[in-house]
């Protein structure tokens, strides 16, 4: 932790107008943009091309390499698999494509899911690449998100690193004792590790609460 | 947040007994009086109830029997807010204490709970961070700091409340020698009553003129730190051992 190798793998550190923009403007822009994308009828192909062009311009202005965004798009993979399956399983009039019988309705559905999902994921990754995680709670508070929700996000941002490095240390300790996650039976070990991690996270939550009480916290959200 | 001086000792614990809700009793009648400005090391083996005792001092735990008095005020619902400002506890794991996204927000958390706002709050934060030599980190995220730095920031979060009594739970754990020395220098410069819970006997000797041993839930010994540490029969009885090669008398002589 001291060596500056931060856990926030989504943030791309550089200086640009997009990085400098107020976080609450960026969050509001993202939510608005995604809502517009999702609400666009999937037959309006030109509109999606325009959305993508907007994103490309924003990413270029932000000096974030396209490859950086592309590599992080693997989170979308489960949706892609689902979308690819659709033309095969959907019903209705079918067309022949390269010897395969595909459902027309399924093809449109797959297109709609893929294009809306991809554009939204790129937009979200762009926000994540240009906004440091600790700026988000403040942005949400300025957007009048309820204080309790903001507090939960604050805690998540703060302790994600702690819990994930705890998880890493536990894994290293397991592996140091010769454990290798290979066979099916190792799932029991993994499940217990997750259980132990949950208990530790819960205990930590209680200790954090005590430390807050010790500094005069009385349950109400400040700001 | 004026530090009005009140009569009586800084801390007074009388006949304090406590059992956890699951029935496990930890404290069996603790008596301890700490005068203003005194520095006391609270020693004892693992599981002796040191942390449990510390959590009574600002009313996080409520005495099963006996009383705890801070600056003449009994610790209880009525004075809880005031007592938590006067008695600052620095917890063992700074990750439990530092929960905000930036060092500034974290140090501001305590005073803000007591209604300090705006420029005064900022001044509070800057002063506290200056005391621990961490002003440069004010805009950083706590998890980007080293452990020694996080411990000093955790100390700052409590100092920002301008406590009269500072309770430190194992402050030297996992610190490298340089970070230990820096923490000693920081603590040495503070004008507060200090109660330090620790296993680290050389650290206790270095910082505290008086030491008490908590063993099996009672105070088993109380005296000048150098006398307690050199009483080998007493030490052995309570599972306390000096590090290899450490001679408290030689260490004291070397300091003078």
The distance from CA B131 to its chain's CA centroid, rounded to whole angstroms, is 16
Q: For the residues B186-200, what does the mean pLDDT come to? A: 92
Q: Are residues A61 and A134 in the same domain?
A: yes
pLDDT for res A103? 81
Band (B98; pLDDT cuts 50, 70, 90): confident
Q: Which of A3, A141, A208, A215 to mutate to test the interface with B (most CBs of B within 10 A)?
A: A215
Domain around A36: 4-139
Is the domain of A22 the same as that of A92? yes
* Residue to test with chain B: of A131, A216, A217, most B Cβ within 10 A: A216
The reply to whether B163 touches chain A by the CB within 8 Å rule is no
The answer to whether residue B137 neighbours chain A at the CB level (below 8 Å) is: no
What is the C-alpha radius of gyration for chain B, rounded to an integer number of angstroms? 18
Residue B235 scores a pLDDT above 90: yes
Same domain assignment for residues A43 and A133: yes
Pair A135, A151 in one domain: no
- Whether B156 and B107 have beta carbons less than 8 Å apart is answered as yes
Q: Which of A139, A169, A195 is the last residue of a domain?
A: A139
Q: Across all residues in chain B, what is the average pLDDT?
A: 90
ipTM comes to 0.71
- The four Cα atoms A109, A113, A114, A117 give a dihedral, to 10 degrees, of 170
Please enumerate in sequence order all residues whose Cβ is within 8 A of that of B246, keeping only pairs 6 or more positions apart, or say none. B201, B202
Residue at A52 is within a domain: yes
Regarding whether A102 and A123 lie in a shared domain, the answer is yes
List CB contacts (< 8 A) between A11 and chain B: none
Question: With an 8 Å Cβ cutoff, are A158 and B85 in contact?
Answer: no
Long-range CB contacts (within 8 A, 24+) of A33-36: A33/A123, A34/A120, A34/A123, A34/A124
Query: Is A221 within the bounds of a domain?
Result: no
Instruction: Read off the tokens for A199.
Output: 């208990």
The 10s digit of each residue's pLDDT in A179-218 is 767 777 778 778 888 888 888 888 888 888 899 898 888 7
Domain boundary among A122, A139, A156: A139
pLDDT, average across residues A8-15: 78
Report yes or no on A178 lying in a domain. Answer: yes
Residue A223 included in any domain: no
**Residue of B58, B102, B157 lying closest to A134 (CB–CB):** B102
Q: Which of A2, A213, A222 sits opposite B60 (nearest CB)?
A: A213
Q: By the 8 A CB rule, do B157 and B131 touch? A: no
Percent of chain A's residues with pLDDT above 70 = 91
Whether residues A121 and A185 share a domain: the answer is no
Q: How do residues A89-133 score in pLDDT, each as one tens digit?
A: 777 777 777 777 778 788 888 899 899 999 999 999 999 899 888
For position B15, what pLDDT does the model report?
A: 95
Tell me which residue in B95, B102, B113 faces A215 most closely, judged by beta carbons: B113
Among the three residues A78, A113, A139, which one is the final residue of a domain in this structure?
Answer: A139
Number of domains in chain A: 2
How far apart, in whole angstroms, are the C-alpha atoms of residue B171 and residue B151?
8
User: Which residues 47-76 on chain B approach chain A with CB closer than 8 angstroms?
Assistant: 55, 58, 60
Does residue A4 have a pLDDT over 70? no
3-state secondary structure of B5: coil
Average pLDDT over residues A31-59: 92
> B254 vs chain A: nearest CA distance in angstroms?
34
Average pLDDT value for residue range B14-29 = 92
Domains of chain B: 11-254 (3.40.50.300)
């Amino acid at each position: 932790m001291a060596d500056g190798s931060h856990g926030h793998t989504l943030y791309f550190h550089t200086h640009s107008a997009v990085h400098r923009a107020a976080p609450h403007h960026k969050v509001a822009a993202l939510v608005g943009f995604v809502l517009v994308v999702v609400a666009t009828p999937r037959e309006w192909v030109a509109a999606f091309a325009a959305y993508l062009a907007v994103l490309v311009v924003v990413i270029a202005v932000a000096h974030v390499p396209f490859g950086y965004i592309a590599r992080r798009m693997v989170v979308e993979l489960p949706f892609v698999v689902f979308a690819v399956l659709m033309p095969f399983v959907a019903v209705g009039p079918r067309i022949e494509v390269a010897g395969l019988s595909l459902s027309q309705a399924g093809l449109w559905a797959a297109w709609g899911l893929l294009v809306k999902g991809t554009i939204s994921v790129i937009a979200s990754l762009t926000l994540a690449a240009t906004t440091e995680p600790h700026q988000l709670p403040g942005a949400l508070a300025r957007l009048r998100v309820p204080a309790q929700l903001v507090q939960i996000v604050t805690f998540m941002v703060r302790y994600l690193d702690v819990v994930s490095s705890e998880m890493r240390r536990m894994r290293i300790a397991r592996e140091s004792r010769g454990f290798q996650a290979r066979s099916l039976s190792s799932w029991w070990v993994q499940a217990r590790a997750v259980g132990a991690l949950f208990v530790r996270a819960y205990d930590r939550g209680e200790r954090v609460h005590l430390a807050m009480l010790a500094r005069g916290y009385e349950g109400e959200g400040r700001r | 947040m004026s530090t009005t001086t009140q009569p009586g000792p800084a801390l007074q614990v009388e006949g304090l007994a406590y059992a956890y809700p699951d029935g496990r009793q930890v404290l069996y009648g603790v008596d301890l009086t700490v005068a203003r400005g005194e520095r006391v090391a609270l020693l004892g083996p693992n599981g002796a109830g040191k942390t449990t005792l510390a959590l009574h001092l600002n009313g996080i735990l409520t005495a099963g029997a006996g009383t705890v008095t801070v600056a003449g005020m009994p610790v209880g619902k009525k004075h809880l807010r005031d007592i938590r400002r006067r008695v600052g506890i620095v917890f063992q794991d700074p990750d439990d204490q530092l929960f905000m996204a930036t060092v500034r927000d974290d140090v501001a958390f305590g005073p803000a709970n007591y209604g300090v706002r705006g420029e005064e709050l900022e001044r509070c934060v800057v002063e506290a961070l200056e005391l621990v030599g961490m002003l440069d980190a004010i805009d950083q995220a706590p998890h980007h700091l080293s452990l020694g730095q996080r411990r000093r920031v955790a100390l700052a979060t409590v100092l920002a409340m301008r406590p009269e009594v500072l309770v430190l739970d194992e402050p030297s754990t996992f610190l490298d020698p340089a970070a230990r020395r820096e923490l000693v220098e920081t603590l040495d410069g503070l004008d507060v009553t200090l109660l330090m819970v620790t296993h680290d006997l050389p650290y206790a000797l270095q910082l505290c003129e008086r030491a008490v041993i908590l063993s099996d839930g009672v105070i088993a010994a109380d005296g000048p730190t150098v006398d307690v540490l050199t009483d080998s029969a007493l030490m052995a009885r309570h599972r306390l051992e000096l590090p290899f090669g450490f001679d408290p008398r030689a260490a004291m002589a070397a300091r003078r």
